[in-house]
Amino acid sequence: MKFDNRVQKLENNELQQQLNYGSSNNTCKIMEEQENQNPIKLSFIEKEKEGGLDDFNNEGLFVPPLNFAMVDNGIFRSGFPNSTNFSFLKTLGLRSIIYLCPEPYPEANMEFLKANGIKLFQFGIEGCKEPFVNIPEEKIREALRVLIDARNHPLLIHCKRGKHRTGCLVGCLRKLQRWCLTAVFDEYQCFAAAKARVSDQRFMELFDVSTFKHAPLSFSVSKRQT
């Protein structure tokens, strides 16, 4: 991450607070900057309309999945990746993927995982809409145990759109990292936008992290180890 001169001039204690609780604002800023890259975005849309995404990929340009972002060193999040995104995902050197949907993983995606030695962890959570949202706490706990195990890094978390299920898991991770709830909700809303759910935020607020004995404040694994 790059910080501007004002951040560099902060005292050490202020900088630490900024890192612990202000990361959601940085994430939103990065997303806004990505959205403002009109030439690339328009070029991709034009290719998609023409049915030429394969040619777009062959031009040496990497296309990230929907709602892609870095969560922490060695941890990424996104919506459901497709074949257009495979070249980009290869650059991450992924070791694992946490998949939060109940549907079977597509054959093309499974072949990509096998070809690149990537392990799939599936925790099927139904994508219901309010007021019928039921987030299975035990599955989130199981996914979180996989997520905080550095042996699984680099790792990608994804559901369908990278908003609600992925947002809940990342929010629980942030509680482990001792983020304040305001920052946790800000990051969640940055990805969910107008479709943010009160039920998701209530789940994150009530999620008990005390059962995790080794709560990581940060991660140091940023590259795949062999």
Residues labelled catalytic: 159
- The CA angle 72-24-163, to the nearest 5 degrees, is 80
DSSP bridge partners of 122: 99
H/E segment holding residue 6: helix 5-8
Nearest CA among 182, 181, 169 for reference residue 205: 181
Rounded distance, CA 169 to CA 202, Å?
Answer: 13
155-158 sheet: strands from edge to edge: 69-72, 75-78, 155-158, 96-99, 119-122
Q: Which residue is listed with tokens 């962890």?
A: 121
Rg over alpha carbons for the chain, rounded to the nearest Å, is: 18
For 98, half-sphere exposure in the C-beta direction (CA atoms, 13 angstrom radius) is: 29
**Other residues' Cβ atoms within 10 Å of the Cβ of residue 118:** 22
Name every residue whose Cβ is closer than 8 Å to that of residue 200 and which is 6 or more positions away in sequence: 133, 135, 164, 167, 168, 171, 188, 192
What is the amino acid identity at position 217? L
